[in-house]
Amino acid sequence: MGCSVPGGDFCGEIGDGCGGTLECPSICPKAGWLCQDNICKAQPPYCALVTCATSSGDHYCGKIGNGCGDSIDCGNDCPGGWD
């Protein structure tokens, strides 16, 4: 396990997956990204927050990425009358 993974970077001290620790940089490599909870996360205006409702009027369900390095839970129930 390393500090960089597909989709992002870890920051600060993290577990190495083998019972030890790995010291990752405390400064995130991308401008506008901050280290939060040992994960580099984009901050507005560098990222666009995603919500459960889409611009087309559809609605996401389950856990999805929020566009800024976190996830949101849109629930497992669709709005009334939707499949």
Rounded to two decimals, the pTM is 0.48
Domain ranges of the chain: 1-43, 47-77
Distance between CA 10 and CA 15 in Å, rounded? 10
pLDDT, mean of residues 58-83? 78
Instruction: State pLDDT tens for residues 10-22.
Output: 889 988 888 889 8
Instruction: State pLDDT tens for residues 37-48.
Output: 888 887 766 677
Instruction: Give the pair of three-digit tokens for residue 34.
Output: 């901050």
User: Who's near 52: CB < 8 A, 6+ residues apart?
Assistant: 59, 60, 61, 64, 72, 74, 75
What pLDDT is attached to residue 45?
66
